[in-house]
């Protein structure tokens, strides 16, 4: 009985690790949202000024006007041409697959000497998207790419799913505890 509970908890933990990895090259470290691009990193910050003052670093809470800022942490990226593309996730294996038809936002390659790339975009609908940041040296000898899937306006559904999962997990745990404390002891007596 206890073994089943341990197996269930292990499966749940593996599911959460897989979900955390699902955001591709974007993650959080000491309160900062970091994006790995080649050997370098960029900070990633987004917010929706018409909705709230809260910042986010993975999924965008709602459809609507959104401001996203990427800031290069190393000088190498400041000397490279940076390109940003957001494509609709239509189940493609590679974000470059039919990129022109699926592009939601595009910023052509350009040097950002300050290291900060900021873009405003009005996401008209909820859905799944893929962000692609490409850094390329002038001579083409170096090219780095960061790919990160994200959702727009689907966070509430995700939060409800998480709450239901943990609620159900709590009920199962309580049921196992109750059974071992009361039902099994009555049968033994």
What are the tens digits of pLDDT across the range 42-65?
998 888 998 877 888 778 888 999
pLDDT above 80 (res 12): no
Is there a domain that residue 146 lies in?
yes
Which pair of tokens denotes residue 90? Answer: 């239509």
pLDDT at 59: 84
CATH number of the CATH domain containing 80: 2.60.40.1220
Q: What are phi and psi of 46, to 5 degrees?
A: -135, 150
Task: Give the rounded percent of residues in the chain with a pLDDT score beyond 90.
Answer: 43
Is there a domain that residue 141 lies in?
yes
Is there a domain that residue 6 lies in?
no
pLDDT at 165: 84
Residue 6's pLDDT band (boundaries 50, 70, 90)?
very low
6 or 164, greater pLDDT: 164
pLDDT above 80 (res 140): yes
Is there a domain that residue 7 lies in?
no
pLDDT at 5: 46
Task: Give the rounded percent of residues in the chain with a pLDDT score beyond 70.
Answer: 79
Is there a domain that residue 179 lies in?
no
Is there a domain that residue 67 lies in?
yes
29 vs 14: CA distance, rounded Å: 20
What distance lies between CA 62 and its chain's CA centroid? 15
Is there a domain that residue 51 lies in?
yes
The structural domain count of the chain equals 1
Is there a domain that residue 159 lies in?
no
Which domain, by its residues, includes 38? 24-152
Question: Comparing C-alpha atoms, which of 74, 85, 6 is closest to residue 40?
Answer: 74
Work out the mean pLDDT of the chain and round it to a whole number.
81
């Amino acid at each position: 009985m206890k073994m089943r509970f341990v197996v269930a908890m292990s499966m749940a933990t593996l599911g959460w690790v897989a979900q955390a990895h699902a955001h591709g090259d974007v993650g959080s470290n000491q309160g900062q949202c970091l994006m790995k691009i080649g050997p370098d990193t960029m900070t990633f910050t987004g917010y929706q000024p018409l909705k709230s003052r809260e910042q986010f670093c993975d999924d965008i809470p709602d459809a609507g006007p959104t401001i996203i800022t990427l800031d290069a942490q190393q000088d190498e990226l400041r000397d490279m041409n940076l390109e940003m593309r957001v494509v609709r996730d239509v189940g493609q294996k590679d974000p470059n697959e039919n990129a022109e038809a699926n592009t939601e936002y595009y910023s052509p390659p350009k040097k950002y000497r300050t290291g900060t790339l900021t873009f405003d975009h009005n996401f008209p609908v909820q859905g799944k998207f893929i962000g692609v940041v490409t850094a390329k040296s002038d001579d083409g000898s170096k090219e780095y790419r960061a790919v990160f899937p994200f959702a727009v306006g689907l966070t509430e559904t995700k939060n409800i799913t998480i709450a239901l999962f943990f609620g159900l997990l709590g009920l199962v745990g309580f049921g196992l505890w109750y059974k071992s404390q009361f039902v099994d002891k009555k049968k033994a007596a």
